[in-house]
């Protein structure tokens, strides 16, 4: 049985645009004689996705995996630009086809030639398509900037407004009334953003196009949007860059209400906060903790005390998980004390002698592929030179091959003096120490019950933690001590599970604390 793979991609398509729609591409590819002769045809599609990279192109990634799996006779696309708008991706695909010379690659417009002259033409076209994409992006940015300077609403229209086919923005009265109610409630000073979110969820008052329930941070973003008083920024309304100017649309919220809201926002933002948002890594466990319900914990400071709370607090069926930072510090101090105690001179050699080489999981390979993709983009954008690009590309490809072959070379993590660094360090230094080892930590109550090792040090961190705690290897498990957590499904990631801690965690604080 012969098999053909057809690839269709369109970043966007409107009926009035002079571009080949997905239907036109699909029909033209299916009518190609080599495709029509095949007994089986599989169509992979990426719609509303740019060709500038491969990360979000599931259809293309499936195509590559299908080619690698074998039993493919023909690969067809409308033209080379439909498959690639990135030079590095195009060259990587060409290298893949050289490993499968039996596969016929055809385009509706243009031809695929494996000869030296054909490779030159293919590479030249790839560079031209990449240049066209970048130049188009620059023109679009200039056009958006020009419209923003004129006071037009660019980007997504906020809730409460509608944009017609001509581009004119008007008020959607039904939704605008909900927006006014949010502003008026907050302007009274009686409700926090989380309380407003919870009330709206309990009443079922969601936005027409909302995919999720209200959250406190969503309410905060809405309250800070100057579009609701008919204003915008000359460079970027979303990022609040440029000069504040009048917009070409009517206001939904009165100026007095807006000023009251901003006054309360400023007071609550600064109340009891010894740290400012401009300070990086203000919290020791910032962006590292994940709640038992699966959400990433958010950091906050109340009356000088640092907390981590689950954003599910704002849901109609709230998760009220909250933990103080000072109750997690002893765990980290104990961890680094154990690491330092077991960091002997022959630690790395002992690990290599006792542990067999581990085959990398899909998460690790995906991380390597993402780094290769980003490297190609940086080279295309001119951020790295050709020599550096080739050197790093070869290094990453070597690592990937070693991972897939199952004999990844072990590295010894040298962490001498970590306990002193932890004890003497500030919050920024402590957070950096934790981030050296981990990407995530799972919280169950007030206890850290599992960690996700850093993606590029999965095996090494697993071995280090296993030896520090004196337990058999537990890396790669997603079972959290067998503790029942209703409705919790941890991500399928390589994790090290803690079967015990040096000392039990204190009981968790209540919301009132």
pLDDT in tens, 407-447: 444 444 455 567 777 877 788 888 888 888 888 888 888 88
Q: Are residues 322 and 228 in the same domain?
A: no
Q: What is the pLDDT of residue 513?
A: 37
Q: Are residues 205 and 328 in the same domain?
A: no
Where residue 314 falls among pLDDT bands split at 50, 70, 90?
low
Q: Are residues 335 and 468 in the same domain?
A: yes
Classify residue 72: in a domain, yes or no: yes
Sequence-distant contacts of 162-171: CB under 8 A, at least 24 apart: 169/248, 169/249, 170/249, 170/250, 171/249, 171/250, 171/252
| Integer Cα distance of 510 and 513 in angstroms | 5
Say if residues 148 and 154 touch (Cβ distance below 8 Å).
Answer: yes
Q: What is the pLDDT of residue 178?
A: 92
Q: What is the rounded radius of gyration, in angstroms, for the C-alpha atoms of the chain? A: 28
Query: Residue 373: enclosing H or E segment and its boundaries?
Result: helix 362-380
Domain final residue pick, 349, 376, 405: 405
Q: What is the pLDDT of residue 33?
A: 94
Classify residue 441: in a domain, yes or no: yes
Classify residue 141: in a domain, yes or no: no
More confident residue, 325 or 83: 325
| Integer Cα distance of 153 and 296 in angstroms | 32
Q: Are residues 203 and 55 in the same domain?
A: no
CA angle 452, 367, 312 (to 5 degrees): 50
Q: What is the pLDDT of residue 485?
A: 33
Say if residues 7 and 106 touch (Cβ distance below 8 Å).
Answer: no
More confident residue, 167 or 94: 94
Q: Are residues 423 and 398 in the same domain?
A: no
| Integer Cα distance of 213 and 206 in angstroms | 7
Residue 30 has pLDDT above 50, yes or no: yes
- Per DSSP, 236 falls in state B
Q: What is the pLDDT of residue 228?
A: 93
Q: How many separate domains does the chain show?
A: 4
Classify residue 142: in a domain, yes or no: no
Q: Are residues 372 and 332 in the same domain?
A: no
Q: What is the pLDDT of residue 131?
A: 87
Residues 6 or more apart in contact with residue 438 via CB below 8 angstroms: 288, 451, 452, 453, 454, 461
Q: What is the pLDDT of residue 37?
A: 92
Classify residue 282: in a domain, yes or no: no
Residue 52 belongs to domain spanning: 3-136
């Amino acid at each position: 049985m012969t098999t053909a793979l057809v690839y269709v991609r369109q970043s966007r398509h409107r009926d009035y645009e002079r571009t080949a729609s997905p239907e036109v591409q699909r029909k033209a590819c299916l009518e190609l004689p080599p495709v029509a002769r095949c007994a089986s045809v599989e169509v992979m599609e990426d719609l509303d996705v740019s060709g500038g990279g491969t990360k979000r192109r599931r259809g293309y990634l499936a195509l590559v995996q299908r080619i690698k799996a074998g039993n493919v006779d023909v690969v067809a696309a409308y033209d080379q630009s439909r498959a690639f708008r990135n030079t590095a991706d195009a060259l990587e695909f060409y290298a893949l086809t050289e490993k499968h010379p039996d596969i016929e690659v055809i385009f509706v417009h243009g031809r695929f030639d494996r000869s030296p002259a054909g490779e030159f033409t293919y590479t030249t076209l790839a560079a031209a398509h990449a240049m066209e994409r970048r130049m188009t992006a620059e023109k679009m940015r200039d056009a958006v900037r020009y419209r923003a300077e004129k006071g037009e609403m660019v980007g997504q229209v906020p809730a409460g407004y509608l944009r017609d086919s001509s581009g004119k923005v008007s008020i959607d009265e039904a939704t605008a009334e909900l927006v006014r109610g949010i502003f008026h409630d907050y302007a009274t000073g009686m409700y926090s953003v989380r309380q407003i979110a919870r009330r709206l969820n309990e009443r079922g008052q969601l936005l027409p196009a909302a995919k999720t329930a209200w959250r406190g941070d969503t309410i905060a973003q809405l309250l800070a949007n100057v579009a609701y008083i008919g204003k915008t920024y000359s460079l970027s309304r979303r990022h609040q860059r440029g000069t504040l100017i009048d917009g070409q649309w009517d206001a939904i919220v009165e100026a007095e209400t807006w000023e009251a809201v901003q006054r309360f926002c400023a007071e609550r933002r600064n109340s009891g906060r010894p740290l400012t948002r401009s300070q990086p890594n203000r919290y020791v466990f910032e962006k590292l903790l994940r709640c038992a319900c699966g959400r990433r914990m958010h950091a906050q400071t109340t009356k000088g005390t640092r907390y981590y709370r689950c954003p599910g607090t704002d849901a109609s069926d709230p998760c009220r998980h909250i933990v103080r930072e000072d109750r997690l510090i002893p765990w980290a101090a104990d961890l680094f004390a154990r690491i330092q105690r077991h960091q002997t001179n022959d630690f790395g050699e002992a690990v290599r002698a006792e542990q067999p080489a581990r085959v990398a999981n899909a998460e690790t390979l995906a991380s390597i592929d993402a780094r290769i993709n980003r490297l190609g983009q940086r080279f295309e954008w001119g951020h790295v030179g050709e020599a550096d690009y080739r050197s790093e590309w070869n290094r990453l490809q070597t690592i990937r091959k070693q991972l897939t072959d199952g004999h990844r070379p072990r590295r010894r993590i040298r962490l001498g003096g970590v306990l002193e660094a932890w004890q003497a360090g500030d919050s920024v230094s402590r957070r950096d120490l934790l981030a050296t080892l981990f990407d995530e930590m799972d919280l169950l109550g007030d206890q850290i019950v599992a960690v996700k090792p850093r993606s590029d040090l999965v095996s090494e961190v697993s071995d280090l933690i296993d030896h520090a705690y004196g337990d058999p290897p537990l890396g790669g498990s997603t079972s959290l001590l067998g503790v029942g957590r209703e409705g919790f499904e941890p991500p399928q990631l390589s994790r090290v599970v803690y079967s015990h801690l040096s000392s039990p965690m204190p009981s968790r604080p209540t919301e009132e604390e």
